[in-house]
Amino acid sequence: MADQELKSGMKRIAHAARMAAQSIADLPTEEKHRLLKSIQKQLKERQQEITGENAKDLESGKQKGLSKAVLDRIRLDGKRIQRICEGIEGIIALPDPLGEVMEERTLRSGIRLKKVRVPLGVILLIFEARPNVVIDAFALCFKSGNVSILKGGSDAAHSNVILARIITDALKDAHITPDALQLVASRDHEAVDHLLDLEEDIDLVIPRGGERLIRNVVKKARMPVIMHYKGLCHTYIDKDADIGQAVAIALNAKIQRPGVCNAMETLLVHQDIADKVLPLLAAGLKEAGVRIKGDDQVCALVKDAEPASEEDWSTEYLDLILSIRIVRDLDEAIAHINRYGSKHSEAIISENKDAQERFARMVDASSVFVNCSTRFNDGFEYGLGAEIGISTQKIHARGPMGLRELTTYKYILSGEGQVRT
């Protein structure tokens, strides 16, 4: 497609989204729930059609030589479709955030001020392989009164199209504008660049995926971006840790699901407890097949540990690899985390109240964990319901983003003729 044509295509998509935003913002909760239930129903009834389209993506993925892990992310089967439906159920069960009066007071002028929760408007979500995101993201945006523009990875193109068609069909059946969902079908990388220019019609971009993709979005977007670059999460085992607890939490943070952003990448251990905790931990790590990289002291204590390089401290392995460093004290642990961490999830294991409090106060991260696993950084675990992403930024939303984080507010001021003097 010629660049000019692509550009005007993206303009049309964003403008159609903006035009639909007002009516979506005004839908009653019940009507939104009916729509979500009808999508659920369609997902079940059209399961064969979905898996048929998904098979095309899997087939061309195999031909392209995609890794098993990526192919697994693309795959949709009966069980996964069932899980998508349960996700919709969860979103229906959450309270509608819109219309909430967040503050109300009478000003010195006698004017009555109300701060009311309203939708953001139009949200652009950029994501990579998993096609279930089409349904999850639409459901979250729609329930919070927003129009979604979705740009998925080309590896799941057929799957994304069929899932988007199911949503669009349900919207039409319910006499709601089908413009409430915009799927960007173009496989052209430039498509995203054009969208990122359209600040008039797009209120927020949420990029999900690899760090390179996200850095490109941050560089080019004219509208606000909420995201996390990576999850380089630490667990610090203090000298006053309960050793059994420390070992169990560290193993969980590394092993339970190593490929996700809230898994531990670096373990910090206080020098006074290292010789007690490391042998126990190393046994568990080896059993799970974890490769250990460590500083000199760690290499002396743990057989088979490889020496860690400076680069290791800033590497998000997303794999069964762990870097371990022994620190002099709590403050060295805090300094290491604030230097190398990604402001995502940071944990301390300690029975000492002062150490817990100092760590929680001084570590700069969206979530600080005391005596529990970083793996708990998750919208569902926090009671927010599903999440559209996790933010490591400090603006607007920090940590898991649920329905409420997809809203903003509006001041409504009512007077009886007040003028300013």
Binding site for its own copies (CB under 8 A): 22, 26, 105, 107-109, 111, 113, 120-121, 199, 203-204, 218-219, 222, 224-226, 242, 245, 248-249, 251-253, 256, 338, 356, 360-362, 364-373, 375-377, 381-383, 393-396, 398-399, 408-421
DSSP assigned state of 216: H
Compute φ and ψ for 373, nearest 5 degrees: -85, 140
β-pairing, 399-401 vs 389-391, is antiparallel
Which C-beta is closer to its own copies: that of 129 or that of 196?
196
In angstroms, give the least distance from the CB of 280 to its own copies: 15
Which C-beta is closer to its own copies: that of 127 or that of 340?
340
Hey, what are 257's tokens?
Answer: 């699901």
Which C-beta is closer to its own copies: that of 328 or that of 396?
396
In angstroms, give the least distance from the CB of 364 to its own copies: 7
- Residue 370, judged by CB atoms within 10 A of its CB (0-12, 13-18, 19+), counts as middle
How far is CA 286 from each of CA 63, 167, 276, 279, 336, rounded to the nearest angstrom?
Answer: 35, 46, 17, 11, 25
DSSP assigned state of 96: P
Which C-beta is closer to its own copies: that of 243 or that of 321?
243
- Residue 62, judged by CB atoms within 10 A of its CB (0-12, 13-18, 19+), counts as exposed
In angstroms, give the least distance from the CB of 248 to its own copies: 6
CA distance 60 to 274: 50
In angstroms, give the least distance from the CB of 378 to its own copies: 8
Which C-beta is closer to its own copies: that of 303 or that of 394?
394
Angle at 201 between CA 197 and CA 203, to 5 degrees: 90
Please provide the size of the chain in residues.
421
In angstroms, give the least distance from the CB of 252 to its own copies: 4
Q: Which residues have CB under 8 Å from 71's CB, separation 6+?
A: 58, 61, 62
CA distance 25 to 169: 20
Compute φ and ψ for 182, nearest 5 degrees: -120, 115
In angstroms, give the least distance from the CB of 349 to its own copies: 9
In angstroms, give the least distance from the CB of 407 to its own copies: 9
In angstroms, give the least distance from the CB of 156 to its own copies: 27
In angstroms, give the least distance from the CB of 66 to its own copies: 28
Taking residue 209's Cβ as centre, other Cβ atoms within 10 Å add up to 14
Which C-beta is closer to its own copies: that of 74 or that of 124?
124
Taking residue 158's Cβ as centre, other Cβ atoms within 10 Å add up to 21
Which C-beta is closer to its own copies: that of 248 or that of 280?
248
Which C-beta is closer to its own copies: that of 271 or that of 418?
418
Q: How far apart are the first and last CA of the chain?
A: 58
In angstroms, give the least distance from the CB of 112 to its own copies: 9
Q: Are 137 and 16 in contact (CB under 8 A)?
A: no
Give Cα 325 distance to the centre of its chain: 28
Which C-beta is closer to its own copies: that of 283 or that of 413?
413
Angle at 261 between CA 256 and CA 265, to 5 degrees: 70
Which C-beta is closer to its own copies: that of 310 or that of 416?
416
